[in-house]
Amino acid sequence: MAISRRRIENGGFVLFLGLITVGLALIVSNFISACLWAALAALLFQPLFQRFVEHWPGRRNLAATMTLLVITVAVVIPAMVVASLVVDQASGVYAQMRDGRINFAVYFQQVHDALPMRVQHLLDGTGFDSFEGAQGRISQALSDSASLLAQRAFSIGANAAAFLLAFGVALYVTYFLLRDGERIGPAIVRALPFEPAVAQRLADRFVIVVRATIKGSGLVALAQGALGAATFWIVGLPAALLWGLLMAIAALLPAIGPAIIWVPVAIYLFATAAVWQGVVVVLSGILVIGLIDNILRPMLVGRDTGLPDWLVLVTTLGGIDVLGLSGIVIGPMAGALFLTGWSILTEQRQARLREPESPTLPAA
């Protein structure tokens, strides 16, 4: 009877925890993204915070404030400046497309006419009624993408108050996560309903993937995007920052990478007789942009994250589709925790199979 009552009490308490957790998630749902990026920033800049703590022993508030100041000056302000420039260029491109000054169909036709006749006939018979039909569909897709980007930019401007509120919440949460992270992290690990070794292993995996995604993939993508923007500016292409942003996003995707941006641009330049510009784009894409990943990534995080490239690609694309910008981190993290969880389960099952069976006592 006592055991049954205890089970009921434990079940009721677990139900209460589940309901209150769901309720809290609904209450803070508008700020989940801000809290997520605050946690990621606190995790990434924890080593810098520890250095400030060593410099000012016992003054954790000052150390957290200085770390937050570094984050604001070195990351937030430059990101806002670049974002405003990109939004301005995206709006300009959208306006030129709407006025007809930018016509992707004309660009595709120029590339088509510059190809050998045999290649032209091959393209015309690859499943589309004509090459014009293909270029029309691609042009429409590009136009829709540009329109969506411009609409998002206008919506951000219209919701400036909500954005500033979320940004302020993110900074505020980051401060406390930096200051109290050494206590919060272990407390969360202890509270997980897993064996201590399993909980610690999942937590370690979480930290590795987050740092690899932000510190490694993020910084490499930014470097490749910046080099791409500089290359496009040198050859005189309009909206170089916008192209660089697209290249940085593409750089987050393994097996695709920034080549999906600079290769079509180089083809167009060669097709329109801009030979030296095309040569510059190709040389920069192969010798500079293409090699920066092999140079920077091992220096930043190494290649021991344990995630296959195909899984990184699928989880990143899926994460962006479901969660937007936050999916860049959440997608690979979910994939890594998925693999780690199943690996732990497999190891536990194999360990149980290796355990010798206890001998049965003969019947009296």
- What is the per-residue pLDDT across 322-355, written as a single tens digit (0 to 9) for each? 877 777 778 888 888 888 888 888 888 888 787 7
**Amino acid 129: pLDDT:** 43
153-184 pLDDT, tens per residue?
Answer: 555 555 556 667 778 888 888 999 888 888 88
Q: Using the structure block, give the residue that is written with the tokens 């003969």.
A: 362
Q: What's the rounded Cα separation, in Å, for the pair 68 and 80?
A: 16
pLDDT digits (tens, 9 = 90+) for 17-34: 888 888 888 888 888 888
Whole-number Å distance between alpha carbons of 178 and 62? 11
The pTM (predicted TM-score) of the whole model is 0.66
- The pLDDT of residue 66: 92
Tell me how far CA of residue 215 lies from CA of 53, 127, 293, 340, 364, in angstroms: 22, 43, 13, 21, 68
